[in-house]
Structure 1
Amino acid sequence: MTADKPCVLLVEDEPAQREVLRYNLGAEGYDVTMAENGDDALILMEEVMPDLVLLDWMLPGVSGIEICRRLKTRKKTKNIPVIMLSAKSEEVDRVRGLETGADDYVVKPFSVGELMARIRTQLRRTRPAAIGQQLEFEDIMLDGESHRVTRSGSDVKLGPTEFRLLATLMEKPGRVWSREQLLDRVWGRDVYVDTRTVDVHVGRLRKALCRQGGSDPLRTVRGTGYALG
């Protein structure tokens, strides 16, 4: 998983369909992790913790609808958007998929362009900065597309790591992030960095945000981690 890129878990057993989706997701700038069946998907969910799951209904082993049900009943994964892909086009099937917890339901065959738009819609809720959206918190503004940060209208100069750190904190103001969670989101799961590195970069971010005055917007939660506000 690469830091700052949204990660999509693609669960699809049909090789040609899987390859088409993998290619298009990559072209959109997403990290893609793939599973061919339900059992592998559940294992990968524990290892990867994706930002979105693209889930085929009809799978070998555990069905897509059962995977969706399990994800939505677990505290750790219930807020991860799930888009169900299915050849079942009847209204009763759509209703069943949505009632199981799917955030969206797309009938095969589908337009790849429309599917990518639906993915962006879901990620706009959960990873807005990563897909180029503007975020605001009090007098701080972050533009994900231009990678520009201002405070009270003045530019704030940040390095790439501090920018990703601020974007993560601004996506969920008030949420307390542990150092391990920040390492996964900002540095990536495949990079080994000591947790003390987080403290160093939070210190740099604090200094940059307060350089021209203003109160410190970052909160240290003793024994846990950091939050914005």
Structure 2
Amino acid sequence: MNRKPISRRTAVVVATAVIAALGAGTAGFVAYQESDEGNAAVGETAEMHLTFDADFSVDTNLAGGAEDLFYGKVTALKGQKDLGVGPETQYAVAVQRVFKGDVTGTVVVNQLGGTDEEGVLLLPEGDHLLQVGKRYLFATNYNEEQRFNTLIPVHGDQPIPDTEAGAPGVPDSDGNGQATMSDRWVAAVRDQADLSTAPPEPEPTEEPEEDPTPKASPTPGS
């Protein structure tokens, strides 16, 4: 069955929750979110439309916006939570190589998206749920309260079967004569963008009164 679409006011509140869920490293980057979840039926997929102040399809921005950038294998599905944004899904990930940060061993990676209580799969536009058994490049920020690493949506999980796979056009960072996926992310961290400062908020404009009281006309001789 179809449900009432999410309102603009609700969407703005949800966008604030998304910022909190992603962690301090990306605070200020999610500018607005709206969802067409209310138009989806059971068993269908609905999309969240996210707007960022940084283009995370650019490697140096992704590296700059992440506290941890690492390569690993999804070993298990841990569960799902709703922290006020909508469904979020947690996975166990075995860390295999770290390009930035200090993650080790097996960590819990949290992904924005999942199946809601009415059976609708809700995901950021262009994103897909992680798959157990697959290897990815993960760009995450740590959620201190929940003690998991939350993915930067859409671009923060990139399928990579092997870090030593060729990467044409990428600088040969280790000088072994072959540009690889490892070289790609070493270079991204080396040249990472500084995204630590959110853009300044616009100055508020003074709104005129709706029904301004007219000033009295001056009388002769006054």
Per the shorter chain, which TM-score range? under 0.3
Q: TM-score, normalised by structure 2?
A: 0.25
Structure 1 or 2: larger strand share?
Answer: 2
Q: TM-score, normalised by structure 1?
A: 0.24
Larger RCO of the pair (alpha carbons < 8 Å, separation 6+): 2
